Amino acid sequence: MPTGLKRYYGAGHAHFITCGCYHRIPWLDTAARRDLFLSILEKVRRRCRFVVLGYVVMPDHFHLLINEPQLGDPSMVMQLVKQLYAQRVVPRTRRKPGHNQTSLPESEALHIWETRFYDFNVWTDHKRVEKLRYMHRNPVKRGLVVEPEQWAWSSFRDYRFGQTGIVRVNDTDVMNMRALPPAG
């Protein structure tokens, strides 16, 4: 773990977050897995009460542009999203006798995510637009599609066509929510 890492929370800035799959293994390589990831992100968004300004889910990583959550901080949001996704994707194997929970022996443990994530504070509208353009162009740059609107797992269609996807983008109603029941 790097020493001297400083995250800047509490100032009300937006956060551009990047997280990769462990060793760039494409754990998000199917439409079903990307949809699962987005449904988990939406549940965590509602639970922690934050606004998603933009996102893109790629086969081996994702980018988010979010504001600071009302409950917790971006690190807690990332922990929840990553844990909930890993719990749903890691295959269940042997059960320990007498236990209800599935466990993997240490030698069989699977890693889904890199331990850390990159967090860049976005302080200006110029940077916000720059990060959104970067995210939305990522599938084109990687050769997955020809045009950004062809990639269903980004917020591009929300901005361009007003099409709401699995994740609510720029949903400020979340800021006025009372406590929601835990996301399941």
Q: DSSP letter string over 3-62?
A: TT-----SS--EEEEEEEBGGG--TT-SHHHHHHHHHHHHHHHHHHT--EEEEEE-SSEE
**Which secondary structure element, helix H or strand E, spans residue 118, and what is its range?**
strand 118-122
113 within 8 A of 106, measured Cβ to Cβ: no
pLDDT tens for the 184 residues of the chain, in order: 455 556 667 667 899 999 999 999 999 999 999 999 999 999 999 999 999 999 999 999 999 999 999 999 999 999 999 999 999 998 654 334 555 544 444 434 578 999 889 999 999 999 999 999 999 999 999 999 999 999 999 999 999 999 999 999 998 876 555 444 444 4
Q: What are phi and psi of 54, to 5 degrees?
A: -175, 160
Torsion angle defined by CA atoms of residues 31, 37, 38 and 39, in that order, rounded to the nearest 10 degrees: 110
pTM of the model: 0.83
- Cα–chain center distance at 84: 11
DSSP conformational letter for 95: B
Neighbouring residues of 100: CB distance < 8 A, sequence distance ≥ 6: none
Q: What is the pLDDT, as a whole number, of residue 6?
A: 64
Q: What is the pLDDT, as a whole number, of residue 75?
A: 93
Give the domain ranges of the chain: 14-90+106-167
Domain 14-90+106-167 has CATH 3.30.70.1290: yes
19 within 8 A of 78, measured Cβ to Cβ: yes
Q: What are phi and psi of 32, to 5 degrees?
A: -65, -40
